[in-house]
Chains A and B, each alone.
Chain A
Amino acid sequence: MTTSSNSTTLAHLYRRAGFGATPAELEAAGKLGFGASVDKLLAGLAEADSAGSALELPHLTPLAQANIPGFSYDDYTEFIALSTWWIDRMIVTDTPLREKLVLLLHEQFPTSYQKVGYSELMYRQNDLFRTLGPGSFDTLTQAVAKDPAMLIWLDTGTDHKAHPNENFARELMERFTMGVGNYTEQDVRHAARAFTGWTLDYTTGDFFFNLYDHDGGEKRFLGKAGRWQGQDIIDMVTQTTASSKWVVARFWSWLAYPVTTEDPVVADLTPGYKTDLNLTNLLGAILHHPSFASTRAMRGLVKQPIEYLVGTLRLLGLRTAAFSEGTLVYLLASLGQQPFVPLNVGGWGQNQYWLSTSASNNQLSLAWNVAQYADLTEILDLNGSPGAQVDAVKKLLAIDAWSDRTYRALWKTADKGSAQELLVMALVSPEYLIN
Chain B
Amino acid sequence: MANSFTRRDFLSGSLGVGAAGALQAALGPVRPPARSGSGTRTPTIATAEAASSSSRSKKVERTLVLCTLYGGNDGLNTVIPYESSAYHALRGDIAIPHDQAQPLGKAGDVALGLHPALVGLKSLWDAGQVAIILGIGYPNPSFSHFESMEIMQSADPSGDSSSGWVGRWLDVSGSDPTRALSVGPNIPVVFTGTRQQASTLADSTTPGSQTPGGDPNFLSAYSELEHTYPHEPALEAAVAQAGSDLLRVGAKAASALTSQKPPDPISPSSAGDVGTQLDVVAELIKAGMPTKAYGVMLSSFDTHTDQLDTQAGLLSQLDAGVENFMGDFPSGSGGLSPVIVLYSEFGRRAQSNASGGTDHGSASNVIVVGPSVKGGFYGELPSLTKLDDTSNFRHTTDFRRVYATLLAGIMGVDPKSFLGAPFAPMTFLP
Contact = CB atoms under 8 A, between A and B. Distances in A.
Interface stretch (A166-174, A273-281, A376-384): A166-174
B281 to A, nearest CB: 14
A231 interface: no
Contacts of B199: 356-358
Contacts of A387: none
A369 interface: yes
A421 B218 contact: yes
B181 to A, nearest CB: 9
Contact of B355 (A160, A351, A421): A160
Contacts of B302: 167, 344
Contact of B224 (A333, A359, A405, A433): A405
Given A163-B354, A327-B19, A403 B232 contact: yes
B244 to A, nearest CB: 9
Contacts of B238: 351-352, 355
A334 interface: yes
Given A76-B2, A349-B186, A331 B224 contact: no
Nearest to B192: A352
Contacts, number: 253
B239 to A, nearest CB: 4
Contacts of B246: 357-358, 360-361
Contact of A403 (B142, B205, B229): B229
B7 A330 contact: no
Q: Chain A interface: which size bin? A: 35 or more
Given A117-B1, A425-B221, A425-B225, A76 B6 contact: yes
A117 to B, nearest CB: 7
Interface string B1-36: 111001100110101011110110011000000000
B335 interface: no
Interface in B188-235: 192, 197, 199-202, 204-205, 209-210, 212, 215, 217-218, 220-222, 224-227, 229, 232-233, 235
Interface string A330-345: 1101111010010111
B187 interface: yes
Q: Chain B interface: which size bin? A: 35 or more
A365 B186 CA distance: 17
A391 interface: no
Given A330-B15, A369-B22, A344 B201 contact: no
B249 to A, nearest CB: 5
Contacts of B232: 403, 405, 430
Contacts of B135: none
16 contacts: A113-B11, A155-B355, A161-B354, A165-B355, A170-B143, A185-B143, A355-B241, A357-B177, A357-B199, A358-B199, A361-B250, A362-B202, A366-B19, A403-B232, A406-B225, A413-B218
